[in-house]
Amino acid sequence: MQEPAGQQLLGFLQQLKVERRVSEHTVNSYRRDLKHLRLFCESHQLASWGELSSADILKHIAERHRLGLSSKSLQRELSAMRSFYLFLQKTGQVDNNPAKHVKAPKQARKLPKTLDVDQVCALLDAGANSVLELRDVAMFELFYSSGLRLNELSSLDLADIDAHDKQLTVQQGKGGRSRVLPVGSKALQTLQEWLKVRPAVDENETAIFTSTRGKRLGNRSIQLRLKQWCIKKGIPEPVHPHMLRHSFATHLLESSQNLRAVQELLGHENISTTQIYTHLDFQHLAEVYDQAHPRAKKSK
């Protein structure tokens, strides 16, 4: 592609950072997805973004699908293309948005895996035997107590916790949205115990969860610590941070039946995203029905 195309892409990514204030993770995702589109253009001798048609976008998506990309990944790439072309339209650099009406192939929606209440209690009550394990339990408690995403937990700063009002502030969740969340008594107690022994190697470090060197703990490190915790404590179920978030949502919905409240706590922009947990709740009710109803029990 010609040089202006690269400058236009850089301008879009800069707009995401400065004007829309999206996270670095999101910017990198857009960059990666649009890089694939640029490679498609180069392989098909398209010199500028304005030369692409809806048929080209569809062809690109079909090629990506043949490479094994899931419907969810293709939907994300299309979303990045639509946003990019919307930027080009608004800045007068193209006349139309070729990705606007292109749809990714549909895929069956998988229900997220969750832990039941007993499994969560077994994981969180296993007992910490060191300072690092105390930190780890505080992290796992917060995942389940407040339904945090992985990036939201790793980004937490000391100033984001309000122990008096038993709440925390997510400064920049998905989509750049902030929200205030309650913190349960168990999570708050473990968190305060961790903060008493938190290494102060770097006095300028504002992160709540830090390494032995006093630096902010990264997402990958948190994932590995949860995996190691489960192995060490003899928990057979492979647990990842998002499973604790799913469990938080499912257990809360089962008890409250308040879908709107769960939506707010999870930070979902659309309630349709939250509605997947109603399917999980129904699945649980269906199992109870099958086991309890005299005309539903399977004959032995």
Residues 260 and 151 grouped into a single domain? yes
Note whether 12 and 160 are same-domain residues: no
DSSP state of 109: P
Q: Residue 287's pLDDT is what?
A: 66
Task: Count CA atoms within 13 Å of residue 129 on its CB side.
Answer: 4
Task: Report if residue 107 sits inside a domain.
Answer: no
Q: Are residues 85 and 200 in the same domain?
A: no
Q: Are residues 197 and 283 in the same domain?
A: yes
Choose one of 38, 73, 90: the last residue of a domain.
Answer: 90
Range of the domain at 60: 3-90
Are the C-beta atoms of 200 and 214 separated by less than 8 Å? yes
Count of domains forming the chain: 2
In a domain, 260, yes or no: yes
Length of the chain, in residues: 300
Q: Are residues 154 and 19 in the same domain?
A: no
* Cβ proximity of 112 and 245 under 8 Å: no
Residues 217 and 140 in one domain: yes
The pLDDT score that the predictor gives to residue 295 is: 60
Q: Which among 118, 160, 158, 154 has a CA at the least distance from the CA of 139?
A: 154
- Please report whether residue 97 resides in a domain: no
* 159 occurs within a structural domain: yes
Catalytic residue among 60, 149, 198, 246: 149
**String of b and e for 168-189 (b: at least 16 CB within 10 Å)?**
bebeebbeeeeeebebeeebbe
Query: Over its length of 300 residues, how does the chain's per-residue pLDDT go in tens digits?
Result: 678 888 999 999 999 988 888 888 889 999 999 999 999 999 999 999 999 999 999 999 999 988 988 888 999 999 999 999 999 999 999 999 999 999 887 766 677 788 888 889 989 998 888 999 999 999 999 999 999 999 999 999 999 999 999 999 999 888 778 899 999 999 999 999 999 999 888 888 999 999 988 899 999 999 999 999 998 888 887 899 999 999 998 888 888 888 888 888 888 888 877 877 777 666 665 666 677 666 665 554
How many Å apart are CA 280 and CA 299, to the nearest integer?
26
Catalytic residue check, 268: yes
Over the Cα atoms of the chain, what is R_g?
Answer: 23
Closest-CA residue to 120 (of 286, 244, 271): 244
- Residue 164 is a catalytic residue: no
Whether residues 84 and 148 share a domain: the answer is no
pTM of the model: 0.61
- Amino acid symbol at 10: L
Tokens of 250: 């499912």
The encoded tokens of residue 222 equal 């948190």
The residue annotated as part of the active site, out of 60, 225, 251, 268, is 268
Domain identity same for 136 and 282: yes
Catalytic residue of the set 225, 245, 246, 251:
245
Identify whether 216 is a catalytic site residue: no
Q: Please report, for the domain that includes residue 163, its CATH number.
A: 1.10.443.10
CA–CA distance, 128 with 194 (Å, rounded to integer): 11
Q: Is residue 72 part of a domain?
A: yes
Q: Which of 30, 85, 144, 277 is catalytic?
A: 277
Given 90, 109, 133, which residue is the final one in a domain? 90
Q: What are the DSSP calls for 253-295, one per residue?
A: HHHH--HHHHHHHHT-SSHHHHTHHHHHHHHHHHHHHHHH-TT
**CATH code, 36:** 1.10.150
CB 225 within 8 A of CB 241: no
From 238, 268, 239, select the one nearest 253 (Cα to Cα): 268
131 in a structural domain: yes
Q: Which residues, other chains included, contact 136 with Cβ-Cβ below 8 Å and sequence gap of 6+? A: 128, 225, 226, 229
Q: Is 36 one of the catalytic residues? A: no
90, 109, 129 - which closes a domain: 90
User: Are 82 and 205 found together in one domain?
Assistant: no
